[in-house]
Chain A
Amino acid sequence: MLTRKQISSITVNAIAVKLLITFPHTIIEVCKTAAWLAAVYCSFLIFLIFLATVRLYHSDRNVIGLAEKLGGIPLRIVTGMIVFLSLFANYFTLVRIFPEVVRLVLLQTTYVELIGLFFAVCTIFGAYCGPEAIARITEMLLPGNGFTFAAFILLLIPTMNTENIFPLLGSGVHDIFLGSIPFLSVFSDLLLLNLLIPYMKDRSDYRRAGIRTAIFGGMVASLVITAYCFSYVYPITKMYLLPVYQLERLIHLGSFFSRLEAVFQFIWSIAIMLYASLYLFVLAEVWRETFGLNASKPLLAPIMLSAAGAAFIPADLSAAAAVEAFIGNWLYIPTLGLPLVFGLITKMFHVKQ
């Protein structure tokens, strides 16, 4: 069983990891200089969406279990497949982007296949250990990561320029309030909370941990995008592949500490491994639950292999980033919509009873 703190830790970690890759680019592409404003708006929106979800969702089962209860095995399989495909789409882009990025910024002489292999082995190993082990390590590391993140933001203050966020409305009000909606996909990992309900001691943990995740995840998202928009001027903000890495490159602490991106890369790698392990575990669990299998651990390696196979379909890193952006444009619909819809149906069903 997972504690409330552990659940919050793994989901906050999941959201933070996404922001460290290419997601900030998506919102900047749409909202331009007002990306920071859109990030704050989306953070507020996700808080409201999650509040609505927990208000409607009153079940001890996750969405797949609830689907079975409402519509039997066919609905369970349909729901399970939607969940699996949504998570898988999110996962396989990570499997491609992580090794490419590590090679690009850190291990420039190491083969990308070797980094990918290391990533796959570690992820399978982590997923094999189960959610409790992943959650415990995440719980231990998250305060340190949070402290490092806060220190980075403080060190970036001298490089920030308030003029960079003007014109204030960027590409316009329409883009801030409607065009930025796909950015909610950053928070799509709130679905993990729902899928991990069977591992929670109490149903109230789902609500409390979720609210905590929405608040902290929203804060991290807003801070990252705001720091980036304040530090670089548009259109430079949309040119860089890895916004957070570029932020770290700006930091100088005297003559001796001018390459702090290595620290960032170290923390980021650990965070992403934990995230990927948890994701793989959840994917296997979803498959097991969907098809009523007895065990999920034998599925870990096949799922990882499938993800690796799909990951290397895009020809290059830019194509992989484009696929990730495309998936990000619709991912929020099933991941945030399913708990909401099933919660609503359950509520209506209970009202009728």
Chain B
Amino acid sequence: MNLIKLLLPLAMMPILTSCIGDEPNNIAYMTAMGIDKTESGYLYTIQFAQPTKISGGSDEGGGSVGNIVDNITVEAPTIYSAINIADTIISKDLSLSHAKVLVVSEEIAHDGIAWLNDVIARNNDIRPDIYISVTENAGEYLEEVKPSIELNPVKYYQLTYENKNGSAIPQNNAMDFYSSYFAGSRDCLLPLAGIAENADNDTTDNSEKKSIENARQAEAEPNTGGFDNGTRNYYAGETGKRIRNKSEVLGSAVFSGDKYVGKLGSTETELHNILMHQFTTMNLSFYTGLDSPLTLKVFEKTPPKYIINKEEKTTEIYPELQCELLSAPEEYRRDRSTKDAETEVASMVNAAAEDLICKVYKEMGSDMLGIRGRLRKQFLTLDEYMRYCQSFVPSEWSFSVRSQINIRRTGMTYYK
């Protein structure tokens, strides 16, 4: 009897391990999905990892020559029907568990992408930290994703979209978009993706001699207001290109609710990140009136303080940036102290940030700073708050930015 007691649960254990299902060898891991609109529905580009090409897949030295991802494009009404069709094309079954990015075309984003929220929230395989990005043509963008220094495509997307050491893309993932949309607390900015183009100035057909200059680079306007002076306000696809991987993620897609209403360049996104405490670290140049700029390594350690007056519809924002002086023109060093530099830099940051807020709130009608969410504290009950939110119009609000710049270190040389 005791033996039966012991064996009964043990006998059931092997069949509950789920090992009777798909083996990892039989699964194709989707890394990204692109969604474009067609006349009759949606065009889904499913990108999946090629295990034989990634680290350890071919030999001990890592991956072999060739792209580590491949793409299938199918027309289907929903994501799941697209996966069904793709499953019939490739030998393995597709899994969403390692998907890192959903790329949607601008056309779809214009119509609204709230329907994506339901797919992401309901599916247990899709991680909540998956990214959604917006591009002109999602399929073309994914075709151009050819990571050259990573052997793992998931890692490539993770490093690109998390962008820990840069601040030119918004740090919002699908979960942020989902919660801010349903809670109505703010209008979320999403990363902007694009493709660089070769400036083909060679008359021969030899592709090895193609220019390394991006044809679209000149389209980006240089900053002239003092903040990050001289650098261009790039949109994705406009920076200096690489030979192989022409895909880029840079700038922001601005949403009002779930609808795409405009885009911001790299410099504007940096300012957005400063105002939203998503800024990490960047080396920024500031106009000094001299030939060469003042270059600072900027950090944001504390979130900006917001003082909101809901009756007068005004907001004062107090960002605090810590800096290290990287370089300054000799004349500047001779005539002015670090205190002078702090004051001048602060005024440039304030002006640039106010311009950005004006553009987004007045022209695009998007509450990117989440004033609605920040106002939650000023209400006692949810009913009062919801009533107020219904009458919230972003363009009616005015903002002033009063940043504080602290130059904490001046590098290895003395500066007064």
Contact = CB atoms under 8 A, between A and B. Distances in A.
Is B truly associated with A?
yes
A148 interface: no
A163 B178 contact: no
Interface range on chain A: under 10, 10 to 19, 20 to 34, or 35 or more?
35 or more
A236 B178 contact: yes
B126 to A, nearest CB: 10
Interface in A23-78: 32-33
Nearest to A171: B382
B46 to A, nearest CB: 20
Contacts of B16: 107, 110, 114-115, 118
Interface in A268-326: none
A118 B14 CA distance: 11
A125 B9 contact: yes
A289 to B, nearest CB: 26
A32 B8 CA distance: 45
B339 interface: no
Contacts of A232: 179
Interface in B305-350: none
A166 B377 contact: yes
A62 B312 CA distance: 65
Given A33-B382, A121-B9, A163 B373 contact: yes
Contacts of A258: 127
Interface string B383-408: 11100000000000000000000000
A121 B21 contact: no
B27 interface: no
Contacts of A240: 121
Interface in A83-138: 104-110, 114-115, 117-118, 121-122, 125, 128
A255 B12 CA distance: 34
Contacts, number: 86
B379 A166 contact: yes
A249 B128 CA distance: 7
Given A163-B377, A234-B382, A239 B9 contact: no
Interface range on chain B: under 10, 10 to 19, 20 to 34, or 35 or more?
20 to 34
A108 B18 contact: yes
Contacts of B379: 166-167
A240 B376 CA distance: 22
Contact of A236 (B5, B179, B380): B179
Given A114-B15, A115-B16, A170 B178 contact: no
Given A108-B124, A122-B9, A166-B376, A233 B185 contact: yes
A104 B124 CA distance: 8
Contacts of A167: 376-377, 379-382, 384-385
Contacts of A168: 380
Contacts of B374: 163
Interface in A119-176: 121-122, 125, 128, 163, 166-172
A116 to B, nearest CB: 11
Contacts of A110: 15-16, 18, 20-21
A260 interface: no
Given A33-B382, A167-B379, A167-B384, A239 B121 contact: yes
B158 A255 contact: yes
A56 to B, nearest CB: 38
Contact of B381 (A106, A117, A171): A171
A234 to B, nearest CB: 7
Contact of A170 (B127, B183, B185, B382): B382
27 contacts: A33-B376, A105-B124, A107-B18, A108-B18, A108-B124, A109-B22, A118-B16, A121-B9, A163-B185, A163-B376, A167-B379, A167-B381, A167-B384, A168-B380, A169-B381, A170-B381, A171-B383, A233-B183, A235-B182, A236-B178, A236-B179, A236-B183, A239-B121, A239-B182, A250-B128, A252-B129, A258-B127
Interface of A: 32-33, 104-110, 114-115, 117-118, 121-122, 125, 128, 163, 166-172, 232-236, 239-240, 249-250, 252, 255, 258
Given A171-B383, A233-B183, 5 more contacts: A107-B16, A110-B21, A128-B5, A249-B127, A249-B128
Closest 7 CB pairs of A and B: A109-B21, A166-B376, A233-B183, A167-B379, A166-B377, A169-B380, A236-B179
